[in-house]
Amino acid sequence: MIRISATLLLCVLLLSACSQKHETYLNDDKNVGTEKYEVLFGGIDVGDLVVNRTGTAFNVDFAYSNNGRGASSVETLVLSNEGVPIEWTIKGKTVFGSAVDETFVAQNGIAKWRASAGKGEAQFDPNLMYVAQGASPYALFVYARAMLSNESNRISALPGGQLSITEVDQLTLTSNENSVGVAAKVYAISGIELDPAYIALDSNKQMLAFLSPRFAVIKEGFTQHDSQLRDLAASLNANRFKAIAKKVTHSFDKIVRINNVRIFDPIAKQLTEKQSVVINKNQIVAIQDVIETPLPEEVLIDGHGGTLIPGLFEMHGHMSDNDALLNVMAGVTSVRDMGNEIEVLDALIEKIENNTLIGPRITKSGFIEGKSEFSNATGEMATTEQEAIDLVKMYGERGDYFQIKIYSSVNPEWVPMMAFVAKKYGMRVTGHIPAFSNVDEMIAAGYDEITHINQVMLSWVLERDEDTRTLFRITGMKRFTDLDLQDERIQRTLNTMVEKNIVVDPTIVIHEFGLTARNGESRLGVRDYIENMPIGVQRKAKQALLNVADENEDTAYKFAFEKIMDTLSLMHKMGILLVPGTDLGGAFELHRELELFQQIGMSNAEVLRRASYDMANYLDQGDELGSIEVGKLADFFLVPGNPLEDLRAIKTISMVVKDGNVYYPSQVYPEFGIKPFTTLGE
């Protein structure tokens, strides 16, 4: 997978806070010395965070590495007596190597800043705090302390937005060196990102940990509490989403009639005349003419002449509580999870199925990685061929896995037997092209599908000894510019794919992001909706994924993306099945993925069919999903416009029905700080 814990980390990097009724705690001489924290991903130590501070001056060193890449930064930070940053410099790199060079200074009542998202300045006073874009997770400590010194526990931030802090739990942690328990309070910080971040402070309001379900930063000596803290973060997330689900889910005991809608028919690839769709609990029981007068035994929902579309499939997700609800609100009612911890995914599916959490139907992939210095910490790892085969058997015997997914550090010599065993259990085989092998070898070894278009194309440009377990599998795409798609070797690969019905999961949108996004300008994929997002999301949209050294590299990356689009256009013409997925969490990103499918030669109707009907059948779910027909499950969404005329109509969703429950995104989005795109039900 390309998307990793960066999603969680970036949520932290964009938080800030300040105060109105302040304490002068940072002048205390006791606040001198060194603090050390360990960075853990899925329980594995992947880095360190070291803080040296003297009074109001801080130096912060932060670095971690996971899956062959990682972020690092060096910060110098000076706070006012009230705990507000007045000087802040941050230098380093993001997870995918984009340079961080950020400055903030407040002098004579004027604040000025420069970051990846651009420059700015504003009037400054002690009741404002700068929202750092590239800071380490330790910034949460500064933000939390400032807000806790404010009676309202809120603060206005620069360049925009307002933060708040809420105590959500208390616990006792025991140090490795001292059996005496340390009392801690856990706080939720909200207001900049879509979801809150959680931080644990001791009784002196010093940082003990940042906690999330998969990623944690824990004070040295307390790391034995990693699992406990991550479980707590997962529970807090679940409780939040449980409360939202209870508030916004409309479930009816009566028959529900959705009246006055045109239905997208994916088989005919056209819209019907205006009709009404009748559902009983979670099943479509009738499609009838529009009625004029509500029937007493029914709940009538007026579709206002809009378009009803079958639920979409996100074919490359890594699901969490955070992603689940927003996918459904975007009309994505089904997700193929492409690799996750077994216990995390099983717990999520259980919560969705018992309606304590709103989320999509999830199809599972069994993730298998080889152990190496570049291993991805997600999923299950093997050190030998037999261990890899045993993992395949384990997934197969569980009986609810659609496929196995093979990752970059797996020894390619193991793949033939892994594929053989997987198919004995009825599972398909997909994944990255393991390091030091190529696409032709993996097709011969038993692959049914290939994950990410770059994994196909790198085989055409790399030497055997070049290591794709590292960030090179991203930066190496610069070589695509010289590809001749009519080359005999490339044509041989493509023809073999046609002959063997090899499927490609291209994740176009993340390649567009990586290769074309540049600092200071909102990337193409978000421009239709970014103004409705919280300020932190808006700023992050102006940050490049990769470091671009100079004009030549800028041109090379952009040409590389054009070559990707040319390759996908050729694959589509040749009849190679391309499945739409994002590796960016789905939801709004899937809408952009579908626009990119349109750009490789599909009509709007073909795109919608591919994302609904075709994917339902590909996943062997076509008897229940993929089209709006009598007898099928009630999974669909309503848009005011006509997506066959303008595909962007799918971005303004007024209603979603998933498993018979009715949701109005306009009721949900304010819970995430998102400005709704439509009014209630219209």
User: Do 620 and 611 contact (CB within 8 A), yes or no?
Assistant: no
Residues 177 and 207 placed together within one structural domain of the fold: yes
Whether 215 is covered by a domain: the verdict is yes
SS3 531: helix
Cα–Cα distance measured from residue 453 to residue 503, given in angstroms and rounded to the nearest whole number? 11
Cα–Cα distance measured from residue 321 to residue 319, given in angstroms and rounded to the nearest whole number? 7
| pLDDT for position 549 | 84
Whether 202 is covered by a domain: the verdict is yes
Residues 237 and 262 placed together within one structural domain of the fold: no
Handedness of CA 641, 646, 652, 657 (dihedral sign): positive
State the 10-residue block means of pLDDT for the chain, 682 residues long. Answer: 36 34 42 89 91 94 86 94 91 89 94 93 89 92 91 89 92 81 93 91 94 92 93 91 95 96 98 98 97 93 97 96 93 97 91 94 97 84 97 98 97 98 98 97 98 97 91 90 95 98 98 94 92 88 88 94 98 98 96 98 98 98 98 98 97 96 96 87 58
Q: Could you give the angle at which helices 588-599 and 508-516 cross, rounded to 10 degrees?
A: 90
| pLDDT for position 471 | 83
| pLDDT for position 18 | 33
Cα 197 to the chain's mean position, in Å? 15
| pLDDT for position 206 | 93
Whether 152 is covered by a domain: the verdict is yes
Name the strand (E) or helix (H) holding 509.
helix 508-516
Cα–Cα distance measured from residue 441 to residue 433, given in angstroms and rounded to the nearest whole number? 9
8 is written with which tokens? 């969680």
User: Do 611 and 580 contact (CB within 8 A), yes or no?
Assistant: yes
Query: Domain range for residue 284?
Result: 255-301
Residues 46 and 180 placed together within one structural domain of the fold: yes
Residues 268 and 405 placed together within one structural domain of the fold: no
Whether 387 is covered by a domain: the verdict is yes
| pLDDT for position 4 | 35
Overall number of domains in the chain: 3
Whether 163 is covered by a domain: the verdict is yes
Residues 261 and 209 placed together within one structural domain of the fold: no
Whether 85 is covered by a domain: the verdict is yes
Residues 79 and 139 placed together within one structural domain of the fold: yes
SS3 146: helix
Closest CA to 636 of 400, 371, 331: 331
Q: How many CB atoms lie within 10 A of CB 437?
A: 19
243 is written with which tokens? 């409360």
Cα–Cα distance measured from residue 140 to residue 120, given in angstroms and rounded to the nearest whole number? 22
| pLDDT for position 126 | 82
Residues 131 and 85 placed together within one structural domain of the fold: yes
Cα 162 to the chain's mean position, in Å? 23
Cα–Cα distance measured from residue 597 to residue 568, given in angstroms and rounded to the nearest whole number? 9
Whether 367 is covered by a domain: the verdict is yes
Whether 429 is covered by a domain: the verdict is yes
Residues 381 and 290 placed together within one structural domain of the fold: no
Residues 198 and 77 placed together within one structural domain of the fold: yes
Domain final residue, candidates 451, 486, 504: 451
| pLDDT for position 24 | 39
CA dihedral 489, 492, 493, 498 (to 10 degrees): 160
Q: What would the pLDDT profile of 586-625 be if each residue is shown by its tens digit?
A: 999 999 999 999 999 999 999 999 999 999 999 999 999 9
Q: What would the pLDDT profile of 118-148 be if each residue is shown by its tens digit?
A: 999 999 988 888 989 999 999 999 999 999 9
285 is written with which tokens? 């029981």
Give Cβ neighbours of residue 414 (< 8 Å, ≥ 6 apart).
370, 382, 385, 388, 389
| pLDDT for position 547 | 85
Mean pLDDT of the chain: 91
Q: What's this model's pTM, rounded to 2 decimal places?
A: 0.87
Query: DSSP secondary structure string, 620-648?
Result: T-TTTSSS--TTSB--EEEESS-TTT-GG
Domain harbouring 401, CATH code: 3.20.20.390
Residues 263 and 367 placed together within one structural domain of the fold: no
Please state whether the peptide bond connecting residue 137 to the residue before it is cis, i.e. omega within 30 degrees of 0: no
Domain final residue, candidates 417, 451, 485: 451
Domain final residue, candidates 221, 244, 267: 244
Residues 220 and 263 placed together within one structural domain of the fold: no
Residues 233 and 96 placed together within one structural domain of the fold: yes
Closest CA to 234 of 66, 62, 42: 42
